[in-house]
Amino acid sequence: MDGKPLRLIAATDTALGIGRDGRLPWHLPNEFDRFLSRVTAVSGPGKRNLLIWGRHSAVRPSQPLPNCHRVCLSRNLSCVPPGADHLCRDFASAVQLAYLPPLSDHIETIWVLGGTHVYQLQEALKHPNCDQIYLTNIMADFNCDTFFPEFDRETFRLLEEFPGIPSEIQEENGIKYKFQVFQKVTSQ
């Protein structure tokens, strides 16, 4: 693969729901910590990841995200909102940041963090460098009003095991969930 990997990451319920009333309908701190660890993981000093999210989905952890440049997508905002480092008017411009100075030498992975509008962009799932989808499968129905898009599970195959990701079912606050990684099948 030429270029930098581009990956989607989300937590979904049994109906592929991701949110309700503009929020996450579950409270799973350990799952959220693992999500933060995943998107901030880099191979060494000076390396960074590019995190892309829509205006309604900014991640607001209690402390800054290390090793990251955060991009907010909006067609309406005129200045970079709190919690972001960059503002882009479209997805292609956001991805392009990873390939242009001053970020190009540093960015390793481009993470797409939602919400629905952004996950549904064909430019994301169909991007030639989109090689993996990380989904936490929350094993309950939360009556969500926003959803992760259906995707081709022949193109993206569920891996039985993935290094660093527990394969057993997790439980938090009485809610069961499991971590899943879907890997794009590439033709030889």
Ligand X SMILES: NC(=O)c1ccc[n+]([C@@H]2O[C@H](COP(=O)([O-])OP(=O)(O)OC[C@H]3O[C@@H](n4cnc5c(N)ncnc54)[C@H](OP(=O)(O)O)[C@@H]3O)[C@@H](O)[C@H]2O)c1
Site string for ligand X, 107-126 (x = CB under 6 A): ------xxxxxx--x-----
Handedness of CA 182, 144, 113, 167 (dihedral sign): negative
Residue in this structure with the two tokens 């960059």, named with its chain if needed: 86
- In three-state secondary structure terms, 89 is coil
At 23, list the tokens.
């929020």
Is 161 in the active site?
no
The verdict on 19 binding ligand X (CB under 6 A) reads yes
Is 87 in the active site?
no
Closer Cβ to ligand X, 1 or 77, answer by number? 77
C-alpha torsion 162→185→36→75, nearest 10: -170
User: Using CB under 6 A, which of the segments 38-46, 74-82, 104-112, 180-188 binds ligand X?
Assistant: 74-82
Shortest reach from residue 186's CB to ligand X, in Å: 26
Closer Cβ to ligand X, 60 or 75, answer by number? 75
Q: φ and ψ at 172, to 5 degrees?
A: -150, 130
The verdict on 34 binding ligand X (CB under 6 A) reads no
Shortest reach from residue 188's CB to ligand X, in Å: 33
* Helical spans, DSSP H, in the chain: 29-40, 91-96, 116-119, 122-125
Residues found near ligand X in the complex (CB under 6 A):
10-11, 18-19, 22-24, 53-57, 73-77, 89-91, 113-118, 121, 146
